[in-house]
Chains A and B, each alone.
Chain A
Amino acid sequence: MANPSNSLLGGILDFDNIKKAVVDMNVEKVKDLVAKSLKAKLQPEEILEKGLIAGMKEVGRLFSCKEYFVPEVLMASEAFYAGFDLISPLIKTGKMKEKGKIVIGVVEGDIHDIGKNIVKVMLDASGYQVVDLGKDVPTEKFIEAVTRENPKILAMSALMTTTMVRMRAVVKGLEEKNLRNKVKVIIGGAPANADFAKRIGADGYGEDAAKAVSLVEDLIGK
């Protein structure tokens, strides 16, 4: 049942409904509810926090416990962004929770970016500013982005055994440019693991999207 304090107009427009529409992967319903909530003068920050972000957190939980899989998370992400795109221009600078900047990308030679995209949406939903370099990103582009953006975290992934070693090249590149001590490096992707992360000099390995967010929180909190 919806929390009455979150309800408006008899519970039709409430944060719980937005959350549920995200979890139900209902793009059109999220758009509709967010638009109506804005029209009813609800605060965009609250819609984001209590509706959209709460929805994605639940999606993350369902993914972790294997009730949701990648297709479901992708559809829920689409629903999240449908609402997020409506409210993000209305959120005043500095009012949205800014926990820190993260640069994220898939290494060169690898176009498997679904995992990266899911991590990105979970980080967005957790209040981080994410700079997405996309997929098939050459080592020098990672280095340039760290120099330019000065992020707290660099997150990389690779899904293929042929490309996972490129994450090591990026860490080496950061060392050579004396940037390694300025940024925490985390990695992800099916062929990697915590041992591999340690061996290549990364600060951690995120087994899935929810664990990647926990890892970021641990590292930034340190």
Chain B
Amino acid sequence: MENKINRVIKREKKLAIFPIVCADHCARLLNMSLAEVANDGKKLAKVLEFGYQTYQYDMVLVFSDPYVEAQALGCPVKLSPSPTLLGPKSTSVSDRTGEIIKAAELLKLRVEVPVFVSIKGPFTLASFLIGIEDFLKDLISGRKSAEAAINHALEFQINYLDRLLKLGVNVFIGDPVASSSVISPKTFKQFAYEPLQILINKIKEKGLIAGAHICGDTKPITPMLDELGADILSIEDITPKTKTLKMGGVSTDTIFAGNKAKMAEEIKIALNEPYLILATSCDVPTETDMKNIKMMMEIAHTYHRN
């Protein structure tokens, strides 16, 4: 039978579930450090498979940290105690994209649900390359360095995407710096929209699932996100009506706190959507108690059955 994610996208099924559990949380479950797994595709696959087996959600997301591509383009990154971008582009290059691809390849063989790889939107990646603050100032000061960085980031992501698509994995594009918590809808349209759309079109041309994730405030740009042509929109506020399937409904703080009543209330409201991937609004915090994630799965199944 076709997987749940595809059936929800086709509106043949109402609900799929994915608390956005990533490598940092899964590594902690196995007493491993993120630094250990983020540099090793086999270990990355192992922890993500363990997360899937533990919680039994409906997709797996290969995501170790936000700086894989930035590092491959020369940004210094430290992974311990938590992933940190140490500065803009320099000369040292440490390319972990091969490890991500290896992890995705292994997971495709080991799990029954769709495997997604998370990549950065060119706008966000460009902001890492020249430093977020300088990048944002360049956008409105008329200097061309931000635009050049976006083009450079897009070119890199097109090549990275080609390697992923050859494997036949689905792709989620995360573009948090393009959120309306940071930039205006006008700036989004001018600089972030088209590069995102180019990547989404490439994914869809291959018949794979394209997801777009932007956290923070997305309400002012939801109509534009809806026009991107993605199969899934992962956004914090899922109340605006869209033709694209939405993903979200449970706040990251709610899952971290483990308040059952609040979680039940959020899930109940989210399930008013005719079709939904019930998810957290952003990735599950590393230290989240395992029982909180299980609680989310159980509550969702209970409501859905009733």
Contacts and interface: CB of A to CB of B under 8 A. Distances in A.
A78 B187 CA distance: 20
Contacts of B83: 109, 162
Interface string B184-226: 1001000000000000000000000000000110001000000
Contacts of B82: 108-110, 160, 162-163
Contact of B139 (A71, A164, A199): A71
Contact of A71 (B24, B137, B284, B286): B137
A113 B283 CA distance: 20
B42 to A, nearest CB: 23
Contact of A161 (B81, B139, B140, B252): B252
A18 B141 CA distance: 19
Contacts of A75: 137, 140-141
Interface stretch (A95-103, A119-127, A186-194): A186-194
A69 B253 contact: no
B185 to A, nearest CB: 9
Nearest to A73: B136
B209 to A, nearest CB: 24
Contacts of A66: 180, 220
Nearest to A165: B287
Contacts of B187: 69, 71
Contact of A192 (B133, B216, B253, B283): B253
A72 interface: yes
**Main secondary structure on A side of the interface with B:** loop
Contacts of B81: 108-109
Contact of A72 (B140, B215, B253): B140
Contacts of A136: 84
A108 B184 CA distance: 29
A190 B136 CA distance: 18
A114 B132 contact: yes
Contacts of A114: 132-133, 136, 182
Interface string B130-174: 001100110111000000000000000000000000000000000
Which size bracket describes the interface of A in this complex?
Answer: 20 to 34
B86 to A, nearest CB: 7
B32 interface: no
Counting chain B CB atoms within 10 Å of each CB, the highest count among A69, A74, A165 belongs to A69
A112 interface: yes
A161 B133 contact: no
Interface in B213-269: 215-216, 220, 251-253, 256-257
B140 A195 contact: no
A70 interface: yes
Interface of B: 24, 81-86, 132-133, 136-137, 139-141, 180-184, 187, 215-216, 220, 251-253, 256-257, 282-287
Q: Which 9 A-B pairs have the closest CB atoms?
A: A109-B82, A71-B136, A161-B285, A69-B184, A71-B140, A70-B182, A162-B82, A162-B286, A161-B252
Interface of A: 25, 66, 69-72, 74-75, 78, 108-114, 117, 136, 160-165, 190-193, 195-196, 199
Given A71-B182, A162-B83, A193-B251, 12 more contacts: A70-B182, A71-B187, A72-B184, A74-B136, A75-B137, A78-B137, A112-B132, A114-B133, A162-B24, A165-B256, A191-B282, A196-B257
10 contacts: A25-B140, A71-B184, A109-B83, A110-B82, A161-B282, A161-B284, A162-B82, A162-B285, A164-B285, A165-B286
